[in-house]
Chain A
Amino acid sequence: MPKVSVNSLKPGMKLSKPVVNEAGMVLLGEGTELTGSLIERLQNMNMSSVYVEGVSKPQKSKEDIMSEIDARFKKTGNEPHMGTLKRLLEEHIEELYK
């Protein structure tokens, strides 16, 4: 779910998360298809970037994330249930990179 700067938005992109103002109120709902005039309004609103639909890719490499997880579990990875938790987290990360 990439976050895109308001200056690089193109008409036809769809919001993958609602746009909210400073008080947390929803201005544009999830799934809204952006038009030229909506983009202009977003640019005039002091909003830096919004989420649009697209391929979701976390920023770090999978290998880096996995080795960080190894390091975090190094003290307790062998304790009861911790192996399960670690495996489930690793499977979850694998899914994100599919």
Chain B
Amino acid sequence: MDIQALRSQIEKIDTLPTIPSVLRKLLVVIENPKISLNEVGSFISNDPVLTSRVLKVVNSPVYGFPGRISSVSQALILLGLNVVKGMLLGVSVFEAMQKTMVGLWEHSLGCAITARIIAKKKDLKEPEEVSVAALLHDIGKVVLGLKFPGEYKKIMAEAESKDIFIVDAEKNYFNINHADAGAWIAQKWNFPRSLVEVIEYHHKPHLSKSVPVQTAIVHLSDILVRAKGFGFAGNNFVPAVNGSAWQSLNLSEEDLKDIFAEMEDSLSQAEDFLLSDE
């Protein structure tokens, strides 16, 4: 299939019968660039399952407000519209994530936690934005898995049998990878430019023009979470760190050890969060 045809097929994912109904409803809200904070708030509040998931995530170690947010409107004010939109998407694709690839939700949540830890270390102004970008960085895997379930199973089997990275197995099959697919869908869904760029370049952070630091953070988070063996992202190897991302983050050995230590605590809390029922 040529790339344009593939792209337009992927962009039509909203119409798939297998797409979770909450996600379908949500996309109407997310794709509308003019939506107000209040409209998003009432959309969430009208759905008790979504409300409880949102409150669980905002009170989890992914964000910096453990146990302090008790209402959806408070979450919106503290986190801002873009972060909440991204997070909504994160919490509504998690069944699809688990169906596509067992462990991908853990991997994504682990990256969100780690990205926030690094962002705070680097004194970024909006650690929550980096965190939500990390939560969604592998959305392309979900998209490919939903749109082409049979093919994606083969790709995962090939990554395992040939001992190769999932991103290379995707490329062998589709001539594109999950980062491309994720960026297409993120554009289609009117995600902010910064989020599209992180998704597109999380494997090639040196290509990010508008948010190189955020992209480098998500890139490194992906590596650290895999190094720790938290969750599963398609293969069990740690990818190599990009040289320019490494340099631009300029983390000392002391910094990195702090990051591992903080990850240890937050990831074990996240495990409880993942294991607790709805």
Residues of A in contact with B (beta carbons under 8 Å apart): 1, 3, 17-18, 20, 22-26, 68-69, 71-76, 79-82, 84-86, 88-89, 91-92, 95-96
Interface segment, one of B32-40, B107-115, B206-214, B233-241: B233-241
* Complex A-B: 15 CB contacts under 8 Å: A18-B66, A20-B66, A24-B55, A24-B58, A24-B69, A71-B236, A73-B237, A73-B238, A75-B165, A79-B240, A80-B240, A80-B243, A81-B243, A89-B227, A92-B257
A71 to B223, CA, bound (A): 14
B227 is contacted by which of A1, A22, A86, A96 (Cβ under 8 Å)? A86
Determine how close the nearest CB of chain B comes to the CB of A3; give it in whole angstroms. 8
Beyond A24-B66, A72-B229, list 13 extra A-B contacts (CB 8 Å). Answer: A23-B52, A23-B56, A26-B67, A69-B229, A73-B237, A75-B237, A76-B240, A80-B240, A81-B241, A85-B223, A88-B260, A89-B228, A89-B260
For A84, list chain B residues within 8 Å (CB).
253, 256
User: Interface extent on B, as a size class?
Assistant: 35 or more
Determine how close the nearest CB of chain A comes to the CB of B50; give it in whole angstroms. 13
B187 within 8 A of A: no
A64 to B240, CA, bound (A): 23
Contact B238 A72 (CB under 8 A): yes
Most buried by B among A24, A26, A82, A91: A24
B240 is contacted by which of A24, A25, A26, A82 (Cβ under 8 Å)? A82
B261 within 8 A of A: yes
A74 to B223, CA, bound (A): 14
B246 is contacted by which of A17, A24, A71, A81 (Cβ under 8 Å)? A81
Interface of A is mostly: mixed
Contact B55 A23 (CB under 8 A): yes
Determine how close the nearest CB of chain A comes to the CB of B263; give it in whole angstroms. 9
For B190, list chain A residues within 8 Å (CB).
none
A75 to B166, CA, bound (A): 13
Which B225-278 residues sit within 8 Å CB-CB of chain A?
226-229, 236-241, 243, 246, 253, 256-257, 260-261, 264, 268-269, 272, 276
Contact B60 A72 (CB under 8 A): no
Contact B264 A96 (CB under 8 A): yes
For A96, list chain B residues within 8 Å (CB).
264
Contact B246 A68 (CB under 8 A): no
Contact B239 A76 (CB under 8 A): yes
B73 within 8 A of A: no
Contact A92 B238 (CB under 8 A): no
For B98, list chain A residues within 8 Å (CB).
none
Contact A72 B236 (CB under 8 A): yes
Determine how close the nearest CB of chain B comes to the CB of A18; give it in whole angstroms. 6
Determine how close the nearest CB of chain A comes to the CB of B61; give it in whole angstroms. 10
For B261, list chain A residues within 8 Å (CB).
92, 95
Contact A82 B241 (CB under 8 A): yes
For A24, list chain B residues within 8 Å (CB).
55-56, 58-60, 66-67, 69
Determine how close the nearest CB of chain B comes to the CB of A27; give it in whole angstroms. 8
A82 to B226, CA, bound (A): 13
Contact A17 B269 (CB under 8 A): yes
Determine how close the nearest CB of chain B comes to the CB of A61; give it in whole angstroms. 14
Contact B229 A68 (CB under 8 A): yes
Which B47-77 residues sit within 8 Å CB-CB of chain A?
52, 55-56, 58-60, 66-70
For B239, list chain A residues within 8 Å (CB).
76
